[in-house]
Amino acid sequence: MKVLCLHGKGTSGAIFKSQTASFRSHLTDLRIDFDFIDGCYPSTAAAGIDLFYPAPYYSFWEDDSPEAIQETCTWLKGLIAERGPYDAVMMFSQGCSLGAAMLLLHQAQDPTQPPPFKAAIFICGGPPLKLLDGIGFEISDTVKERDRLGREALARQAHSASILARGSARWTGEASVGGAVDEEELREEIRGPFKVRIPTVHVYGSRDPRYAAGVHLSGICEPAKRRVFDHGGGHEIPRTDQVSRRIADLVRWVLLEGSA
């Protein structure tokens, strides 16, 4: 079983490999080949990442315009043709937007053909809103404002100075939602002509400034084939034994569901 792994902006395949090591250690019996690739553009370090990991750093696009995302999707298709096929895709942050874009563009353009992956694991992700806007999805001003506030708060809370000053207490998660909002209400905020049909897992943290984006992403995936988990933290993958085992169980479920 082979899984394509797409990292977050300003990190790398090697960094994503380290970030996921704890929960992957509970999946060794499945003999999974996790393929951690680097993004196609050199990048500065993501906020706070240089405290823990050395360069180089990469991203999958330099701006999130529909044209830039589609260009990277074309690049990724070539990589899949060369290094694949892959049974599933596992992603973090910007990588989630890329994986979602691949699946949604396939659904929009080639719905009768098999999708590029049979299962997907989204971690601290969000949907590519500008791309969705161009393929028939309704993106309200409320959703756009949540996205803007969440990105701004993430940049502040993930900054090196914030890490050094406050540690894990820096994660508040409030800016992306603007008050108490039910997850199901968030999922209903984005409506579109179709949903991602393959089995999906969505891992996010209620203290992540991008929490609402993670819930929004789960909302554009088929409910009957979707499982979600709030790890209770920020824009990160907690490495506690309890969280690691729970994520591993979800990965195990989605991979087996996708291969059924």
Q: Distance between CA 117 and CA 4 in Å, rounded?
A: 9
Q: What angle (nearest 5°) sits at the alpha carbon of residue 228, between those of residues 226 and 231?
A: 165
Tell me the sheet residues that pair with 35: 4
Q: 9 exposed, middle or buried (CB, 10 Å; 0-12, 13-18, 19+)? A: buried
User: Max alpha carbon distance in the chain (Å)?
Assistant: 52
Q: What angle (nearest 5°) sits at the alpha carbon of residue 162, between those of residues 157 and 163?
A: 100
Q: What is the pLDDT of residues 50-96, one digit of tens each?
A: 989 999 999 999 999 999 999 999 999 999 999 999 999 999 999 99
Q: What is the pLDDT of residues 197-240, one digit of tens each?
A: 999 999 999 999 999 999 999 999 999 999 999 999 999 999 99
Q: How many domains does the chain have?
A: 1
Q: What is the pLDDT of residues 103-156, one digit of tens each?
A: 999 999 999 999 999 999 999 999 999 999 999 999 999 999 999 999 988 888
Chain centre distance of CA 83? 21
- pTM beyond 0.85: the answer is yes
Domain assignment of residue 232, given as a range: 2-259
CATH number of the structural domain spanning residue 243: 3.40.50.1820
